[in-house]
Amino acid sequence: MAAQDGSEVVGMDAEVVQKAPEVSCEAAGQSHTAETEQALLTDGESTSTQPPAVSNGEESDEGKEMVDVKIIWNKNKYDLKIPLDGTGANLKEKIHSLTGLPPAMQKVMYKGLLPEDKTLREIKVTNGAKIMVVGSTINDVLAVNTPKEVIQQDVKAEENKKEPLCRQKQHRKVLDKGKPDDVMPSIKGTKERLPTVPLSGMYNKTGGKVRLTFKLEQDQLWIGTKERTEKIPMGSIKNVVTEPIEGHEDYNMMAFQLGPTEASQYWVYWVPAQFVDAIKDTVLGKWQYF
């Protein structure tokens, strides 16, 4: 019995010993599964907390040869550093960010009108160069153009009530001098582009000789007399008034309104009729003839 009991005990111990690994393996499997799930969870958390790399689309200027220039626009000056191998189009974008002036509305001048497709190196821009910018923001255009239209309507209404300008005493004293001998030839009933040379041989309000030069690249009207030349920004001209001269309808008298009232009008007499519409459209910003 003792032997048998011993055998039975030994057998039971063996059975217990044999079952122990099974429990251990199952526990190990559960432990391994838990570790795997924890590792996956940890990896997932790590991945989700790392922000993806995002490019803002801007090209870095690091390592490029730069040039310092001064941008002058609307009486304001801006210091700008830009890659020397950047194009005129790139410069316009930089000017837009500085001034709010859209590239399409910019005239950029450096030794003439700046080409968009050439680099600053090609057009020989150097450190300290002054670059002129002409143009108005959309808000400025809306603010300026609306009063001009209103002024034109008011002027036309007043003209209908008044006697012809050429009969008024202040103009009669100039017109009575007669047509200047050296005035440019006129062609009645036609419309032509502005000539490439100044319009000359005309009179101003004092009876002195005057010439008009349209500097489109600078957006200026130059009014020249024997004494001096006035350089007028076209954007500052509020209105243009014209009227054919009686008895000489192939010529016009013309006034440029330089301020808010008629007192600021600068009168020019004997303007060839074929250029009248081109002058008005150019000065008032319509640009139909160019």
Tell me the per-residue pLDDT of 76-88, one tens digit each, with 9 for 90 and over. Answer: 899 999 999 999 9
pTM of the shown model? 0.45
In terms of pLDDT, which residue wins out, 138 or 259?
259
- Average pLDDT, stretch 248-252? 94
Q: What is the pLDDT confidence band of residue 12, given thresholds at 50, 70 and 90?
A: very low
Compute the mean pLDDT over every residue in the chain, rounded to the nearest whole number.
Answer: 78
For the segment 159-199, what is each residue's pLDDT rounded down to a tens digit?
555 678 888 888 999 999 999 999 999 988 889 988 889 99
Judge whether residue 248 has pLDDT over 60.
Answer: yes
- Percentage of residues in the chain with pLDDT exceeding 90? 43
Tell which CATH classification among 2.30.29.30, 3.20.20.80, 3.30.200.20, 3.40.630.30 matches the domain 165-284.
2.30.29.30
Note the pLDDT tens digit of each residue in 104-128.
Answer: 888 898 988 889 899 999 999 999 9
Indicate the domain borders of the chain.
66-142, 165-284
pLDDT at site 240: 93
Position 100 scores a pLDDT of 85
Question: What pLDDT does residue 211 have?
Answer: 94
CATH assignment of 66-142, given 3.20.20.150, 3.10.20.90, 3.20.20.70, 3.40.50.720?
3.10.20.90
pLDDT of residue 48: 43
Distance CA 189, CA 191 (A): 7
Q: Exposed, middle or buried: residue 238 (CB in 10 Å: 0-12, 13-18, 19+)?
A: buried
Structure-model confidence comparison of residues 13 and 85, the more confident one = 85
Over 70: is that where the pLDDT of 138 sits? Answer: no
Express each pLDDT in 220-243 by its tens digit. 999 999 999 999 998 889 999 999
